[in-house]
Amino acid sequence: MDWRTSNDMIARRVAAMRERFEDLKEKDLYFYNQPISELRGGASVIVNGREMGMYASYSYLGLVGHPRINQAAQDAVAKYGTGTHGVRSLAGTLDLHLELEDTIAEFKHADAAVTFTSGYVTNLTVVSSLMGRGDYVFSDKLNHASIVDGCIMSGAKFRRFRHNDMAQLESRLSKVPSGVSKLVVADAVFSMDGDIIDFPKIVEICKKHNAWLMIDEAHSLGVLGKTGRGIEEHFDLPGTIDIKMGTLSKTIPSVGGYVAGDKDVISYLRHASRAYIFSAALPPAQAAAANESFKVILDEPWRIEKLNANTEQFISGLQARGFDTMQTETAIVPVLCGSDEKAFAVTGHAQKNDLFVLPVVSPAVPVGLARLRATVLAAHEPDQIEYAMDVIAEAGKQFGII
Ligand SMILES: Cc1ncc(COP(=O)(O)O)c(C=O)c1O
């Protein structure tokens, strides 16, 4: 049976996806889901038996594999085992969870914090628990999928505004009937483009229109601000975010998500959010690793300084070689290639030359804006970054990008 002509939509979707990936595999252009078999310091990994420079990691400060963090995880396994006794509200809470939540609240200069088992789930459950029918939620067009899904799930009126377009946000807010609850949500650093939300303006607009402000710090925790505390520190605007969301899977080398904020809001989330009530707690090793990571960030400030220097070298070096790196100001560096085919070809060249870097293509980004989504880390050394840029530039020339 030919599924392409079948009336069964499920089968048609599955077949279309299979065909797309089979075609890429035949051309040796399928780069996803490659297993890493070993860490080699913070800057390299073993993939398919070869050591490769890591330019696709979220471990911005190079903390994955840090001895103190590994030790904290091992100690937690020895003390508590590998799992919990279920959901947080019943038998799942460990003293470790409360310790981690206190650490996060202190780090984020908030009253309190609550954790969940992934960043994705955090956005889903937090937006949908706070918002409901009759409310309005406003979301930047480039916000992460988990925010979009949370907005849809909430049942609130969902309004998107053009990326970083504060005039459009304000115009949309001004059309909301009075007396209605409003939430504005945005990424601090955008996960595909690496640019930063116009934070001073979004804060001002939210205040003016009496809207709650939620900021997702997945890619700004440990990255923005002198001590890595994030976007409020970066702009010197303390205490301006109502719902401070972040993940424990990027700079923090663990897994999970958190929200920090007012203690009554946090308590509400502990009693109303379905992901907290109906899903098992973070495992002990991951909670302990996350807790130790916040301490390491404060104890080793050189990592943030090195990340900033490496980011500057990587962005300016790629631009000097003729690449368009879009609006990035952070460690996420899009290297614009144009067509999906060109992005795959550049990736192939980079991987053959021992750079583990990955492409982002449509529909994750608009057609024509396919790119390498390269990341630079505190763990890289300047000569490694020069090598990476030279390899990418060779491919750029070969495939007519620069
Ligand atoms: C901006 C943003 N928010 C949320 C998430 C989801 O976080 P996690 O991977 O920890 O589930 C991501 C992950 O890529 C992200 O980039």
Q: Is 120 in the pocket of ligand 1 (CB under 6 A)?
A: yes
The confidence band for 7, taking pLDDT boundaries of 50, 70 and 90, is: confident
Q: What is the pLDDT of residue 35?
A: 96
Residue closest via CA to ligand 1's atom 7 equals 119
Preceding amide of 363 cis, omega within 30: yes
User: Is the model's pLDDT at 328 over the cut of 90?
Assistant: yes
DSSP string covering 218-275, please?
A: TTTTTTSSTTS--HHHHTT-TT--SEEEEESSSSSSS--EEEEE-HHHHHHHHHH-HH
Burial (CB count within 10 angstroms: exposed 0-12, middle 13-18, buried 19+), residue 344: buried
pLDDT tens, 358-398? 999 998 899 999 999 999 999 999 999 999 999 999 999 99
User: Is the model's pLDDT at 6 over the cut of 80?
Assistant: no
Mean pLDDT of 201-215: 98
pLDDT tens, 72-118? 999 999 999 999 999 999 999 999 999 999 999 999 999 999 999 99
Alpha helices in 258-339 (DSSP H): 263-272, 274-277, 284-299, 302-320
Measured CA to CA, the distance from residue 279 to residue 88 in angstroms comes to: 8
pLDDT more than 70, % of the chain: 99
Measured CA to CA, the distance from residue 169 to residue 184 in angstroms comes to: 9
Atom of ligand 1 nearest to the CA of 248: 10
Mean pLDDT of 155-183: 97
Residue closest via CA to ligand 1's atom 16 equals 191
Give the Å distance between the CA of 218 and the centre of ligand 1.
6
Give the Å distance between the CA of 288 and the centre of ligand 1.
20
The confidence band for 3, taking pLDDT boundaries of 50, 70 and 90, is: low
Q: Is 139 in the pocket of ligand 1 (CB under 6 A)?
A: no
Q: Is 143 in the pocket of ligand 1 (CB under 6 A)?
A: no
User: Is the model's pLDDT at 218 over the cut of 80?
Assistant: yes
Q: What is the pLDDT of residue 42?
A: 85
Q: Is 249 in the pocket of ligand 1 (CB under 6 A)?
A: yes
pTM for this model (two decimals): 0.97
